């Protein structure tokens, strides 16, 4: 360790000793932050309701989410219009029984390439939600869920429309880059 590093270490020890009793210098931290898995739907018309998921997602639980959250979301967002559903190739999504569920419900699923989450507009929406949550400091699971719900509810249809409308540009950029990273 060089002299400069030793001096900095010494100063930080002295400073922390002096500040340890000053409330304005104390910063609370959560040693084991709460976490939750969430499913949500997006369309150019806006967002659907959230589903907070307990445990692991397998094909059966995913199909329950589709039944109880995606179908009502599609009804709200599209009415009787046809739509194309997009999800990634997670095992629960690509299971044969899930494919049969979509066939049985006459829902077209977008053929999606593996390892391409950056092209899915909902990933960009989750980034927006996470940015809105930065200043929230939930201490309990219920506080975290409430903060996520509030952030989700603040998403405007205009934001969703912009994200959906950006898809052709994103896909063109990936094709031009031959699958290599893009500015997006």
**Does any domain span residue 68?**
yes
Using CA atoms, how far residue 145 sits from 34, 39, 99, 149, in Å, is 10, 12, 30, 6
Structure confidence at residue 113 as a pLDDT band (50, 70, 90): confident
User: What total number of domains does the chain contain?
Assistant: 1
- pLDDT, tens digit (0-9, with 9 covering 90-100), for 166-182: 988 888 888 888 878 77
Mean of pLDDT over the chain: 82
Residue 11 lies in a domain: no
Average pLDDT over residues 152-163: 95
**23 lies in some domain:** no
Is 66 inside any structural domain? yes
Regarding pTM above 0.85, the answer is: no
pLDDT, tens only, 21-34: 556 655 555 554 67
* pLDDT at residue number 12: 37
In a domain, 45, yes or no: yes
Strands 84-85 and 108-109: parallel
CB contact at 8 A, 45 and 157:
yes
Q: Is residue 29 part of a domain?
A: no
What's the domain range around 160? 37-176
Residue 105 is assigned to a structural domain of this protein = yes
Q: Which of 44-48, 118-122, 143-147, 167-171 has the lowest mean pLDDT?
A: 118-122
The least confident of 28-32, 51-55, 58-62, 135-139 is 28-32
Tell me the longest C-alpha to C-alpha distance in the chain: 73
* CATH number of domain containing 100: 3.30.420.10
Please check whether residue 5 lies inside any domain of the structure: no
């Amino acid at each position: 360790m060089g002299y400069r590093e030793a001096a900095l270490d010494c100063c930080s020890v002295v400073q922390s000793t002096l500040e340890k009793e000053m409330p304005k210098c104390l910063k609370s931290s959560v040693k084991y932050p709460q976490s939750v898995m969430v499913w949500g739907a997006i369309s150019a018309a806006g967002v659907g309701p959230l589903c907070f998921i307990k445990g692991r997602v397998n094909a059966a639980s995913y199909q329950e989410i589709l039944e109880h959250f995606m179908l009502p979301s599609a009804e709200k967002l599209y009415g009787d219009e046809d739509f194309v559903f997009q999800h990634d190739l997670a095992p629960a999504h690509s299971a044969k029984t899930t494919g049969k569920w979509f066939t049985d419900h006459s829902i077209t699923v977008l053929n999606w390439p593996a390892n391409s989450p950056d092209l899915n507009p909902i990933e960009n929406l989750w980034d927006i939600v996470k940015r809105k949550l930065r200043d929230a400091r939930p201490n309990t699971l219920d506080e975290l869920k409430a903060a996520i719900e509030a952030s989700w509810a603040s998403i405007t249809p205009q934001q969703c429309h912009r994200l959906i409308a950006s898809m052709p540009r994103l896909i063109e950029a990936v094709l031009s880059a031959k699958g290599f990273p893009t500015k997006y």
